Amino acid sequence: MKSVSALILCMFFSIVVSADTIRMVVNNWTSQIVLTHVVAKLLEQQGTKVQLVESSVSEQWGALSHGVAHLQMEVWEGTMSAKFNRLVKAGRLSDLGSHQATTREEWWYPLYVEEFCPGLPDWKALKKCSAIFSKDGSNKGLYIAGPWEKPDEARIRALDLNFKVKVVSKGDDLWVELKKAHHKRTPIVLFNWTPNWVESRFEGKFIEFPDYAEACEKDPKWGVNPDFIHDCGNPKGGWLKKAAWSGFKQTWPCESVFIENISLSNQQISMLSAMVDVDGLSHEQAAAAWIDNNKKTWRMWLPKSCTYD
């Protein structure tokens, strides 16, 4: 009897404890991981309990919809707008506003590749030069994609590109491939994005596919190929948002004002990734250093008319 009530008490206690712990999603690219650590530390400083939960982009939607996770600090338009918009519309997710940063996620190449493929960055140049990107001696080019869902196969088909896709399992593997190719000056085209540390170390350009439009993803008749959707690139000047579980604002009103106030610029996001990927700090070290060096910035984010309890 005693042990049963102890068990019940224990269960009750763990529900109470976990109910006021904010579970933050840790994804798999550097700026997101460091920013998540920064925000977790700042929340903890305010007395809020935080737990970090690793999740892939594709898994995070279910977790955030069901309150298994509560907060995601970097939702990128180019790779995530379709799911995000749908879930916000359905009332399953809460939009906690945009960073001031504008983003782009797209096929990218280091600048020297232009010597091998005149006409770049226009996508039509890829039609003529697919063979230089081949790894198997055929004339089929290889595009190296990150572990984030993109309709690359659909785009290759719609734009009639002679390419196949290799999806690397970790984001960091992209940079291994980039450094290897750069060292030998061999042609490479791979997924990249901005803001990111890459732009501080490598000259390069995004492929200019036909401009993105919403209709491109829905209406086959739109664009250069009347039979298929996805005959366009990803958005340029895309948004970068913070997303929360739909019950977040009600459960954590003060914290929610704080998160809404957080807004990083392109330079700040790219610096968060450079601290790790260029300077070699751990994610935790980078977060601690950022908090030390940016007191003015984060103090402005703290809600004025709100006391945490």
Residues that bind ligand TMO in the complex, under the rule CB under 6 A: 29, 76, 79, 105, 146, 148, 193
Nearest residue to 22 (alpha-carbon basis) of 87, 78, 62, 70: 70
Any idea which residue has 């925000």 for tokens?
39
User: Is 225 or 273 the residue whose CB approaches ligand TMO more closely?
Assistant: 273
- Closest distance between ligand TMO and the C-beta of residue 31, in Å? 8
Give SS3 for 208: strand
CA-based max dimension of the chain: 80
| DSSP conformation class of 121 | T
Please state the closest distance from residue 270 (CB atom) to ligand TMO, in A. 11
Q: How far is the CB of 133 from ligand TMO (least distance, A)?
A: 21
Residue with tokens 């005693």: 2
DSSP state of 212: P
The residue to which tokens 């994005």 are assigned:
193
Give the residue carrying structure tokens 């190449």: 109
Nearer to ligand TMO, 148 or 298 (CB): 148
Decide whether 145 or 288 has the Cβ nearer to ligand TMO: 145
* Cβ nearer to ligand TMO, comparing 94 with 270: 270
Minimum CB separation of residue 216 from ligand TMO in Å reads 19
309 Cβ contact list (under 8 Å, min separation 6): 47
Q: In whole angstroms, how close is the CB of 17 to ligand TMO at the nearest point?
A: 32
Q: Which is nearer to ligand TMO, 105 or 277 (CB)?
A: 105
Q: How far is CA 191 from CA 8, 74, 105, 107, in A?
A: 51, 18, 7, 5
